Structure 1
Amino acid sequence: MITYYSFFRNGSPILLALTALLTACGTDETNYAVPDEICDTPIAPDTLQALLPSGEQLEAAPSSVSIVMTCEVKVDAKLHIDITGFAVLGARDPSEHARSLRLENPVEENWGPDIPAVLADDGAVVSLPCGAGDGTDAMLAEIHVYGDHMPEDERRGRVTDFTRSYVTGLAEQLNCDARPATTGSP
């Protein structure tokens, strides 16, 4: 004879313990400090935090190769933001550059006099009329954002906010006269 026991009467303590264990293992805690500067460029920390997942350790490491400067932002050794800055002679058209990157849903904006931008769901390209002090007279910033930890409907706004913060900080760092406007115009 087989005896059946009610799950609700005898199995509920097991189910409660399993739920508590899974909840404890699945917490989305951010245990790293979000800086107000990455790769020597000031940014608004909340715009950076909005692009990053939870994790234990944040790294932002600059490197410089000739007239190309890069910055990688990692959480727990996983790449989440990749920034490349090109110091150039003569302004570059960011829309032309963005076409070769195959960004998701790119939209062109104008952030001020001579500051064209291309914004997308997964990155941005912005031209800043200011050189790096080495004979160049313009910077082209290329930003890529990776991961699926953000709500899809908020992703573009978060990328735009971070890009505006980063380019503003880059303009300050390079002592440029040009600064992005506080809001874009289509």
Structure 2
Amino acid sequence: MTAYRPFSRNGAPILLGLAALLTACSGDEYNYTAPNEICDTPIDPQALQAVLPPGDEVEATSLPLSITVACEIKVDSRLQIDIRGLALSGARDPSERAATFRMENSVEENWGPDFPAVLADDGAVVSLPCGTGGRTDALLTEIHLYSDHMPEDERRDRATDFTRSYVTGLAEQLNCDARPATTGSP
């Protein structure tokens, strides 16, 4: 004779254990606090966290490269954001630079006088009309977002908010008069 044991007696603990394991491994929680500065540049922590995935630790590292700005942001040691800034003499059209790498659903905007931007779901290229000293008068900033945790219908807005916050902080850091307009215009 086969003994019948209700599922709730034997199966429930197994399912509860499995659910706890999957929850612990899923990494759906933000166990870090987004900083208000990355690589010496002030940033809105909410705009930063909106483009980063859940995880345990966020770190921003300035890279020793020959360009003016180089910063990598990682969550749990995985690259999520890569930022490069090139000091230039003479403003450069960011659409020319954006054409050299694939950007998802890019659009061009004007953030103010001589302040063009190309925004996309996975990053941006912005020409900040401010030099870094010497004979430079513009900083071309490239931002690449590698995280795919964001809902597709929110990616562009989150990327744009992060870019606007970062470029505003960069302008403050460099003592530039120019700041991005609060909303872009085509």
Indicate how the Cα distance of structure 1 residues 172 and 70 shifts in structure 2: closer, same or farther if over 3 A, else same. same
2: CA distance, partners of 1:18 / 1:176 = 54
2: CA distance, partners of 1:156 / 1:31 = 25
> Do residues 160 (structure 1) and 160 (structure 2) align?
yes
The one-letter code matched in structure 2 to 1:92 is: R
Aligned residue runs from structure 1 range 138-177, under 5 A: 138-177=138-177
- 1:1-52 Cα shifts (integer Å, max 9, x gaps): 7666664565334333333333344352222221111111111110000011
Q: Name the SS of the counterpart of 1:168 in structure 2.
A: helix
Normalized against structure 1, the TM-score is what?
Answer: 0.91
Q: Name the SS of the counterpart of 2:18 in structure 1.
A: helix
Indicate how the Cα distance of structure 1 residues 67 and 10 shifts in structure 2: closer, same or farther if over 3 A, else same. closer
Whether the 8 Å CA contact 1:88–1:137 is kept in 2: the answer is yes
Whether the 8 Å CA contact 1:67–1:88 is kept in 2: the answer is no
Aligned to 1:92: 92
- What is the aligned-residue RMSD (CA, Å)? 1.8
- 1:97-144 Cα shifts (integer Å, max 9, x gaps): 101111111100000111000000101000011001132110000000
2: CA distance, partners of 1:20 / 1:65 = 44
Aligned residue runs from structure 1 range 1-186, under 5 A: 7=7, 10-186=10-186
1: CA distance, partners of 2:126 / 2:173 = 16
Q: Name the SS of the counterpart of 2:84 in structure 1.
A: strand
1: CA distance, partners of 2:55 / 2:161 = 22
Q: Name the SS of the counterpart of 1:178 in structure 2.
A: coil
2: CA distance, partners of 1:19 / 1:65 = 45
Could you tell which deviates more after superposition, 172-181 or 55-64?
A: 55-64
Whether the 8 Å CA contact 1:95–1:108 is kept in 2: the answer is yes
Alignment length (residue pairs): 186
The one-letter code matched in structure 2 to 1:156 is: R
Whether the 8 Å CA contact 2:109–2:185 is kept in 1: the answer is yes
Structure 2 unaligned spans of 5+: none
Could you tell which deviates more after superposition, 34-43 or 86-95?
A: 34-43
The one-letter code matched in structure 1 to 2:152 is: E
Q: Name the SS of the counterpart of 2:99 in structure 1.
A: helix
Paired-residue identity, %: 71
Q: Report the alpha carbon displacement of residue 62 of structure 1 after superposing the two structures with TM.
A: 1.1
Structure 1 unaligned spans of 5+: none
Whether the 8 Å CA contact 1:130–1:138 is kept in 2: the answer is yes
Normalized against structure 2, the TM-score is what?
Answer: 0.91
